[in-house]
Structure 1
Amino acid sequence: MLTDLISARSQFAAGQSDAAAELERCITAAEGPACAHVFRQTCHDEARAVATAAGIEQLPLAGLAVSVKDLFDIRGLTTAAGSTVLADAPPAQADCTAVARLRRAGAAILGHTHMVEFAFSGVGVNPHFGTPAAHDARFGALPGPARVCGGSSSGAGVSVATGAAFIGLGSDTGGSIRIPAALNGIVGFKNTARLVPTDGAIPLSTTLDTACALTRSVRDAIAVHEILAARRVTRSPAPLSTWRLAVPSTLFLDGLDEAVARAFERTLEQLRRAGARIAEIALPETAQLAEVNATGGFSAAESYAWHRQLLQRHASRYDPRVRSRIERGAAMSAADYITLLHARRAWIERMQAAMAGYDALLSPTVPILAPTIASVAPGSERDAEFFRVNGLLLRNTSVVNMLDGCALSLPCHQAGELPVGLMVWQAALRDDAVLNISLLIEQELQKQ
């Protein structure tokens, strides 16, 4: 199992390693075969300068390696969002706020990671630059043919899972942090969107976009969230048995792969044996999302507003699967958009009322195991399978984005199994409860 950020800092303090040596190990991993197609641009020499700077190990991130999704501005690098359309854009003049906060905390920025073009898919496939393959952070390379790593923060997830980065800065609009976390055996925390600024990042949906990160452990997720959100997480000494947990049956448990269902049920049983109180609830409100989105979705409408001039000039350069979803926004009227805003607000109120008796809800992060890259690779003959897989991968996670909520995915599979994620979630600004509960769950699952 990979060393997490907190452990690495402890090793530095004990004189067992140092930031420069640790960074070289990360760069070696980043340049290795498991990271094929993971990085779009690198700045390793600048990262080395950070790791060797005087006093760096006293800062929260201690000169440790951080990767950045290719939609966040890094000064001196071109932000292309996984597309050829923006390849000729000028380099960023300044770091975006999220990168600046990481850098001030001592991060050694490795560079930009691959992503789904313009962040519009949960699968991770990119026809322009290749597709990273999933890697299990806990048990190593996956057996058999290469599998999708999830998106849209695809390179960010694999960079953390392979040991190339301790932190993968990414975004989550419908699951783009939690899906790669689930498929690569790592931790992905989607904070309440308003807590971390998204300025200096190319948007998909200004309503739903969340700047957040992938990490190697829940305790790392807490530390990184505190940096990105510039706030302290309120820690709770309460044991697992004191938290009120629920498993919603509507939507979230539909059509689970057998291996996902087995890992999820095994996890619930282990938590119950540890004293967790887990109720089963229907939560029928989740089935109402199709009606809420009947007039169109935020991602289509808001991405079209950003892309419409680019599409007029460069439509043929877009991934056709991405372009088709952006162009759906052209048909959405102002009245439709306002209707969607009101419908979402009313739906959130109903959801919050239904969830009020619980500190967090537990669900499989995604209902399926990672499919092979070959089954969803670019090509019109595979479009039907691609969109089927994309819908399944986003199904559970996107509920939390529409809720304006927070959620964390952590691994719950065992050796010999493909990665499976457990999602711990709640409504807006319940981040600290989700993080405290997730930490207790992780500690219990590590007893397996």
Structure 2
Amino acid sequence: MQSVRDRLEIILSRLANRAADEKVYTKRYAGAARAAADASDARRKAGVSLGPLDGTILSVKDLFDVAGEPTTAGSLILATAPAATRDAMIVARLRQAGAVIIGKTNMTEFAFTAIGDNPHYSTPGNAKDASLIPGGSSSGAGVAVGEGTSEISIGSDTGGSVRIPASLNGVVGFKPTARRVPLGGAYPLSATLDSIGPLACNVTDCAAADAVMAGEDPGPLQPLSLAGLRVGIARGIVFGETQAEVTAAFGACIGRIERAGARVVDLPIDDLIAEMRLATKRGTIASMEGAEVHADWLAAGAPVLVDPHVTGPLSRALAVPASAYIRTIRRRGELVLAMAQRLEAIDVVALPTVPMVAPTIAAMAADEALRDKTEGLLLRNTQVANQFDLCAISLPMPDMALPAGLMLMGRHGEDRYLLRVAAEVEALLAG
């Protein structure tokens, strides 16, 4: 069996060879990673294990605190911020579980956009084709797993920022129920919607990382049968403008799930989505809460160093009165309860993670209107899970020229059950 140190050195060599043009990682921890790898190898020789993550080569998004350095969150204005005094809680838990943290991955500035571009630290090219967008905001996380420079990447997901890059780079991405994984030491976007989740090549690795970060037992997922599973298909708004190849792949996946004995039923949720859109018309929850995070420099005049795709929405949200924000949060709570009642009739919801495969970076840079439309489409399906306080996972759909994901959404707090279902669906699609 190959040692952890040998696996690590192969990756470090790849990163060293492209150091002059590195876009996926913003920090590398070669020395600390080698020490952690050697410690894991020593434990294995002694017959000792810290659990399923022991010796796993892992990266973290550049919004998690690592003791001794500033947390830049993809922005130049934080590059000279005070150094973090301690690791983020999830970073500490991952280290304690024996993970080998190889570095920090690139991201969109302040985790705010879905395309995956960053004007300061460059845009990581998609793992399947470097001319294509990676998806955001956990852009480097999706590319790192897709290209094999980390076995698990940890990202954040406020409106789809784990699942969008997972879908576009052909990997698995899991968004847990909000607040299940502690946010301490993670640079915030939206206290209401932020979740911390893993990206990996399989559901098993995602489940192990999720359990460790949540402070739960990372034991193996217990098998379950897909026979009799109630799968709700949310036809309507979330299927609009879906590319033909994504529609076909989704239909093929659902057909295989149905042939495995699952009961597939239509689940109308357009009314609830429309009500949520109405509730957030003055400003999205993410933009209003993000505006509070950045209120000081926004009020002083946005620094020219900040991406205008970030300053524009935040500046507009800063002008929304507190009364409108409070009403939005109250209405969101009512709609979360309404969705929970709607989902009592099914076990999981299925829909395409995003309605498209990755477009080119050049196309997004050349046409602002196309970029805005694309961003809206990328966020449309994934944000349902965040807005309605659900858990969700994106699985790669087989037999596609460019990647796209199948998204399964589970009820609030049923994260482990959703992961069990996802593991069975993953095995079915691989067969």
Q: Which TM-score tier does this pair reach, normalised by the shorter chain?
A: over 0.9
Report whether the alignment pairs 1:407 with 2:392.
Answer: yes
SS of 1:407's equivalent in the other structure is strand
Kept after mapping to 2: 8 A contact 1:22/1:64:
no
Corresponding residue to 1:88 among 54, 73, 80? 80
CA distance in 1, matches of 2:326, 2:72: 31
Name the counterpart of 2:59. Answer: 67
Kept after mapping to 2: 8 A contact 1:79/1:89:
yes
Corresponding residue to 2:242 among 253, 256, 265? 256
CA distance in 2, matches of 1:77, 1:63: 24
Name the counterpart of 2:283. Answer: 296
Kept after mapping to 2: 8 A contact 1:96/1:201:
yes
Corresponding residue to 2:326 among 338, 341, 363? 338
**Counterpart residue type for residue 371 of structure 1:** P
Name the counterpart of 1:423. Answer: 407
Match runs of 1:179-258 below 5 Å: 179-232=164-217, 235-258=221-244
Which segments of 5 or more consecutive residues in structure 2 lack a partner in the other structure? none
Corresponding residue to 2:6 among 18, 21, 27? 21
Tell me the CA shift for residue 32 of structure 1. 5.3
Name the counterpart of 1:178. Answer: 163
Kept after mapping to 2: 8 A contact 1:413/1:421:
no
**Counterpart residue type for residue 26 of structure 2:** R
CA distance in 1, matches of 2:318, 2:50: 47
Match runs of 1:30-429 below 5 Å: 30-31=15-16, 36-53=22-39, 54-55=42-43, 58-60=49-51, 61-135=53-127, 141-142=128-129, 146-232=131-217, 235-284=221-270, 285-311=272-298, 312=300, 315-377=303-365, 382-414=367-399, 417-429=401-413
CA distance in 2, matches of 1:205, 1:45: 34
CA distance in 1, matches of 2:158, 2:14: 28
SS of 1:249's equivalent in the other structure is coil
CA distance in 2, matches of 1:212, 1:220: 12
Q: TM-score, normalised by structure 1?
A: 0.90
**Counterpart residue type for residue 110 of structure 1:** I
Kept after mapping to 2: 8 A contact 1:250/1:286:
no
Tell me the CA shift for residue 442 of structure 1. 0.2
Comparing 19-28 with 384-393, greater Cα deviation is found at 19-28
Tell me the CA shift for residue 315 of structure 1. 1.9
SS of 1:149's equivalent in the other structure is coil
Tell me the CA shift for residue 31 of structure 1. 4.0
Comparing 112-121 with 310-319, greater Cα deviation is found at 310-319
Name the counterpart of 1:4. Answer: none
CA distance in 2, matches of 1:32, 1:181: 25
Comparing 110-119 with 88-97, greater Cα deviation is found at 88-97
Kept after mapping to 2: 8 A contact 1:134/1:184:
yes
Name the counterpart of 1:13. Answer: none
Q: TM-score, normalised by structure 2?
A: 0.94
CA distance 1:233–1:46, change in 2 (3 Å): closer
Tell me the CA shift for residue 77 of structure 1. 2.7
CA distance 1:395–1:33, change in 2 (3 Å): farther
CA distance in 1, matches of 2:323, 2:354: 33
Counting matched residue pairs gives: 421
CA displacement 1:291-329 (0-9 Å, x = unmatched): 121232111111111112123265211001111011122
CA distance in 1, matches of 2:258, 2:13: 42
Kept after mapping to 2: 8 A contact 1:250/1:287:
no
**Counterpart residue type for residue 263 of structure 1:** A
CA displacement 1:6-25 (0-9 Å, x = unmatched): xxxxxxxxxx1111111112
Percentage of identical aligned residues = 39
Tell me the CA shift for residue 272 of structure 1. 1.5
SS of 1:315's equivalent in the other structure is coil
**Counterpart residue type for residue 85 of structure 2:** Q
CA displacement 1:103-126 (0-9 Å, x = unmatched): 100111112111000000111011
Name the counterpart of 1:11. Answer: none
C-alpha RMSD of the superposition: 1.7
SS of 1:422's equivalent in the other structure is strand
Kept after mapping to 1: 8 A contact 2:302/2:311:
no
CA displacement 1:349-389 (0-9 Å, x = unmatched): 11111111111000000011111000112xxx632121111
CA displacement 1:229-258 (0-9 Å, x = unmatched): 011479444311132111111221111011
Tell me the CA shift for residue 200 of structure 1. 0.7
